[in-house]
Amino acid sequence: MASSSRTPSPARIVAALVVGLVVLVACGHREVVGTASALERISPDEAAGLPITSGPSGPRASTPPIRATALNSDGGPLDQLALAAVTDLYDYWEVEFPATFPGLTFEPVATLLSYDANGQGVLVCGMDTTGVPNAFYCPSDDSIAWDRGVLLPELRNTFSEMAVVTVIAHEMGHAVQYKAGQMGPAMPTILAEQQADCYAGAYFRYVADGESPFFEISTGEGLNAILATLFFIRDQAGTDYLAPRAHGSAFDRVSAFTFGFTDGPSRCAEMDIEELEGRITQLEFAEGDANSGELPIVEENVEHVAGSLREVFARFGDGPALDYQGVSCGNTAPVAFCEAEDVISLDLAALQVIGTAPRRQGDSGIGDFAAFAEIASRYALWVQARQGLPLRGDEAGLRTACLVGAWAGELLPDGAPRPGRVRISPGDLDEAIAELLTEGSLIAADIDGESIPAGFARVESLRIGFEDGMDTCLDEFSG
């Protein structure tokens, strides 16, 4: 979020990349036109209908021979991992491609190339790979290339071996686009990238269903690591979604992946620019936004956020009081809803740790919106209490995440400036995704701090609220 005295042009507001909040907003009901997954699929202990598992994720102990080969390979374990992914993807798309695009057959890409960004450069797609830690598909020569020296080790070491598979699956998604005739000069980069994320999600459903002879993945921590990988490779906050190299915010990339994982490649093939513009949440910074959209977590700004919550949920009453003397009830630090006292108590210093944007790997902070959304989650419990709904259990956690999403959806900067209110800014929703993927997410927790088991369900619940609003949260998660 960020203090500001003006609202960006409506033409620039077809999105809200997740990172910061900003003071000002026209409230009133807002609907994001998009394609949400069927609500009956949102279960606290399932990922798109699959039970949450905590087993191994990665290459299987015994696999078929790897048939794919890459030019310039060093034969090392990372290249072998990438080639195993390519072989598995070939098998997957050999079946799914003609089913998705009747009358067409899938042909392997013409060239696979491995290189080391720190080593001797090679020429591919008209580019010297020296110092280029990347993975990419080149339509001009139908090739997929990857950097085994910097990018793949970073993905493996930060997340898991399956993060490497995620990137290869994404690049194969571009090959699918090209071979299906979807990719052309008129296709915006953002659409190409989101569709490739969706195709990657469809492939990972095949893995999660146990059909891959090469890989396995748990639908708990394993799938969470994949979603975290998409967060890692998101666009920088403030990127114009129509920029030539835009890939999408973490919120939008995770959404696209989810579409494929839930509904399969046919859902991905239906993506077009109209659908994309109806759901994209990627904003540029407004003129006057300070600190890259990051508000300090101080009492004054917390009061601004509380004011926005009171306005968004005004029909339920005046709202609970705020107590800044530290968490005084329950065990949901750094903020709690004290039902008996009708108070939200908070530990401002602990919230400041969460609300500080990380500047290097290993920093414990997430960003201002993560802290403010945790406050919003406890306010959401007050809303549920006013409705006489249970405040304990997984259903309460689902409602809480959904209501936080509904609040965030009302904060898109689509109206005249109103001092003292808050609006969402670039990067805010991505910070919410990061918090939702932490082990003890408070955004998706009940009054006792028990989080929904499935990270997949946490993210989906927030997205449903963001797109469909608070009435959907209260009606659909009413158990």
- Stretch among 19-33, 360-374, 395-409 having the lowest mean pLDDT: 19-33
Please determine, for residue 280, whether its predicted confidence score (pLDDT) is greater than 90: no
Averaged pLDDT, 25-32: 28
How does pLDDT run across 99-127, given as a tens digit for each residue? 999 999 999 999 999 999 999 999 999 99
Mean pLDDT over each residue of the chain, to the nearest integer: 84
Is the four-CA dihedral 411, 412, 416, 417 of positive or negative sign? positive
Averaged pLDDT, 31-37: 35
Phi, psi for residue 349 in degrees, rounded to 5: -65, -40
The model carries a pTM of 0.80
What pLDDT was estimated at residue 275?
82
Q: How confident is the model at residue 46 (pLDDT cuts 50, 70, 90)?
A: confident
Please determine, for residue 479, whether its predicted confidence score (pLDDT) is greater than 80: no
How far is Cα 79 from Cα 334, in angstroms, rounded to an integer?
A: 44
- Stretch among 8-22, 36-50, 303-317 having the lowest mean pLDDT: 8-22
Which class for 90: exposed (0-12), middle (13-18), buried (19 or more C-beta within 10 A)?
Answer: middle
Please determine, for residue 43, whether its predicted confidence score (pLDDT) is greater than 90: no
Q: Of 30 and 287, which is predicted with more confidence? A: 287
Averaged pLDDT, 4-31: 26
Please determine, for residue 408, whether its predicted confidence score (pLDDT) is greater than 60: yes
Q: Of 295 and 245, which is predicted with more confidence? A: 295
What pLDDT was estimated at residue 28?
29
Please determine, for residue 160, whether its predicted confidence score (pLDDT) is greater than 90: yes
Q: How confident is the model at residue 301 (pLDDT cuts 50, 70, 90)?
A: very high
What pLDDT was estimated at residue 12?
22
Please determine, for residue 391, whether its predicted confidence score (pLDDT) is greater than 70: yes
What pLDDT was estimated at residue 1?
59
Are 86 and 78 contacting, i.e. CB atoms less than 8 angstroms apart? no
Percent of the chain with pLDDT over 90: 63
- Stretch among 189-203, 250-264, 404-418 having the lowest mean pLDDT: 404-418
Please determine, for residue 247, whether its predicted confidence score (pLDDT) is greater than 60: no
Region at 319 (left for phi over 0; alpha for psi -120 to 50; beta for the rest): left
Residues 6+ apart with CB under 8 A from 62: none
